[in-house]
Structure formats: C-alpha cells, structure tokens
Amino acid sequence: MSGNGDIPSRKISNRRGFIREEQNERNVEHDHSNRGHRHLLADIFAQGRRHIQSRRRSQDIEEISKPTGTFGNDDEEEEEDEFNEADFCWVWEEECKSNDVVFQNNNSEVYFHPDYSCGTAAVRGKNQFQEGEEHYWEIKLSSAVYGTDMMVGVGCDGMDLNKYKSQFCSIIGKESNSWGISYFGTVHHNGKTREFTKKFERGSVIGCHLDLWKGTLSFYKNGEPLGIAFEGLLGKKLYPMISSTAARTKMKLVCSYKINFSLQYLCCKEISKNISSSSEALADLPLPSGLKRYLGFRMDWVFRLHKLQPSSSGMGPSRKRVKR
C-alpha cells in the first residue's frame, strides 16, 4: 500500500515541477520583453534628442517674412546666367575665404556652412580698394537671417578669415583691422559695438558706399540711406567682406561700382540732388543725347546714391553703445 500510495504524490510533484518550469519560462520571456521595450524606448529618445539638437543648430523653423521695395533684384529665385563678371568692378575671391564657404550662381552668391555650423565663416572681394576712389556695392540677404551674426563690411589685407572657425562671433569689426554692420542693425569696429539702424530681414539689400577721398563708410538699406557709420579709413589696404555664423545661410553680390573722385563724379552728385528721378529727369536735361545715354548707363548708381542723401552729416542715427 505504501508503494502504491506514493504514485499520486509523485505525479503531483512532477506536475508542480512542470508548472514552475512554465512560470520560469514566462518570467524569462517577460524579462526579455521588458528589456526589448526599454531598448526601444531608449532608441526613440536618443533619436528625438539628436533631432532636436539638429533643429536647434539649423533653426530652420524660424519664419521670416520678405520685405518689399528692395534696392537691388527682389526676385526670390534668380537665374544663374544673370551674373556677368564684366558688369562688376570686383567679385568674390575664391582663394580668400573660410573653409566653410561655397560659391553658387556663377560665384555671385556665397553659401555659408552648407551642412551645419560650428563657428564663423567669412569671404572677401578680389580687388583692393585704392585711395581716391568712390565705391558702391550691394549685398542681398538671400536666405533666412538668424544666428549669432551675419555681417557686411570691409577689412584689411592679411585678415585671417579662419581665425574664428570654431567660435561664434561678429568677426567683421571684432579687431582693429575691420569695420562692419550686423544684421541686428549694430555697427562694429575694434571690438566695440553701437546701435545704428533697425534689424535687417530676409531679402534686405545692404548698400555700402566707401568714399576713399574722405575716408568714410556709409550704409544703405533697400535704397534708403542710413548715414555714415565710420570715418578715418584712409591709408589702409581695404577689401569688401561678408560673414555668417548661421548654418545654410546665403548672401548675394547684387552690384559693385567704382569711379575716381573727379569733376565728373562731383557734377553727377550735384545733378542728382536737384532732380526727382534720374531715369525720368535725365531725359529733360539740356545735354547731348549721347551724354545722357552715358550718364544713364554708366553713372546711374551715382544718381541713385546721392539723390536721397540725408541732410545731416552725423555718424548714423545713433551713437548709443550696446553690449551683446
């Protein structure tokens, strides 16, 4: 009896063993499932962090409206064949640029930081400005405008354009060998900053008038004069420059003109102050038709430059110093 009585107990014991094994297998599967879910969630959060960091670097989510009435070409999409180097007195120098600069549209447009930005990039023009010359050029902010700084101005020969490739800064005007205006509307020189005008937007056209007879640098916005920003620029080896710290930003050279300071320049300057519109009023001037065609074609920029010149000769609309 004792031997037969042990059979049911052994069956019960074996059944309990099977149940425990099944429970252990389920627990193992559950642990694997939990670990799988944790790994999946970790991957999702990691991808999310990388996406947010990428968006913060590029800041492409910022919507910036395009202004109207620009001085230069206001078309958002411009054909590449519109740029003819022969129509410009200077163009960008391919050998004098930061490493993170790419030229587009027949080298008329500068593309800063094509992938992402980790510092400041800059480029300079090909020709050195000479004393006794009058220079005028326009730069269009043809992309989104954001970041630590985007600048237009002039700098001296020998300026290291890669010096701040790992630092975000206002490079044009950071030292004593450059003078620039920021998209924030401030002007910079020798590490000092002061307010000058309102902030620039996408599509703004910044005009620069460098008078190397008097040694002054004036700025324009969409054809409107902003005043003289800097003086004392004689005796320096100057070049035009632009810079940006922001990823995937662009600036386009719209035009570049020069003329020697001469009686011809002074006459055009005085005429422009006494006519309402150069394109319309030139036809009514008591001049030979050939001369009027020449003035309208070669000297049109001089008329546009001076016809809206502000009456005051102060250094811009504000001298207030600011820190950023």
Q: For position 307, what pLDDT does the model report?
A: 64
Better-predicted residue by pLDDT, 260 or 179: 179
pLDDT score of 74 more than 60: no
Mean pLDDT of 294-304: 76
Whole-angstrom distance, CA of residue 263 vs CA of residue 261: 7
Find the range with the poorest average confidence among 29-33, 292-296, 320-324. Answer: 320-324
Predicted local distance difference test score (pLDDT) of residue 296: 74
* Entry field: residues in the chain: 324
Greater confidence (249 vs 46) lies with 249
Per-residue model confidence (pLDDT) at position 85: 74
> Residue 98 to residues 113, 179, 194, 243: CA-CA distances in angstroms?
10, 18, 26, 9
| Fold exhibited by the domain 87-260 | Jelly Rolls (2.60.120)
Alpha-carbon distances, residue 21 vs 27, 33, 82 (angstroms)? 10, 18, 80
For 257-280, the pLDDT digits (tens) are 998 888 888 888 888 777 765 566
Mean pLDDT over each residue of the chain, to the nearest integer? 79
Percent of the chain residues past pLDDT 70, beyond the cut: 66
Alpha carbon distance 109, 204 (integer Å): 15
Mean pLDDT, rounded, for 248-259: 95
